[in-house]
Structures are given as C-alpha cells and as structure tokens.
Structure 1
Amino acid sequence: PFARLDVSYYSPLCLVVGFGFAVLAITEFLG
C-alpha cells in the first residue's frame, strides 16, 4: 500500500517540479 501511495503522490510532484525547473530555466534565459 505504501508503494502505491508513494507513486500516487510522487508522480504528479515530479511533474510539477520538472515544470517548475523548466519555467525557471526559461525565465533565466529571457532575463
């Protein structure tokens, strides 16, 4: 049960973190 819970929580979290890094890279590039 813990493994499924981890995947359920960390999958979207990883996506959000990756998106955040992409936005940060774009802002640094434009700035």
Structure 2
Amino acid sequence: QPFARLDVRYYSPLCLLIGLGFAVLAITEFST
C-alpha cells in the first residue's frame, strides 16, 4: 500500500511540527 507510506511520510512530520508549535506556545505563555 503506497498510500499508507505516503500518509506516514507526510503526517508524521506534521504531527512533530504541531507538537513543536504547542510546545512553543506553552513556553511563551509560561514565560510571560
């Protein structure tokens, strides 16, 4: 199933980026 591999390739980095985004937001909120 090539589509499954494509999903993993595209969605895993998206999840990481989203996680980093939330982490940055949390850090900025806690620092202020």
TM-score by length of 1: 0.88
Cα distance, 1:20 vs structure 2: 0.3
When the two chains are superposed, the root-mean-square deviation of aligned CA atoms in Å is: 0.6
* Residue deviations 1:2-30 (CA, integer Å, cap 9, x gap): 10000000011111000000000001101
| Pairs aligned (count) | 31
Identity of aligned residues (%): 81
TM-score by length of 2: 0.86
Matched, 1:16 2:11: no
Moved over 2 A (4+): none
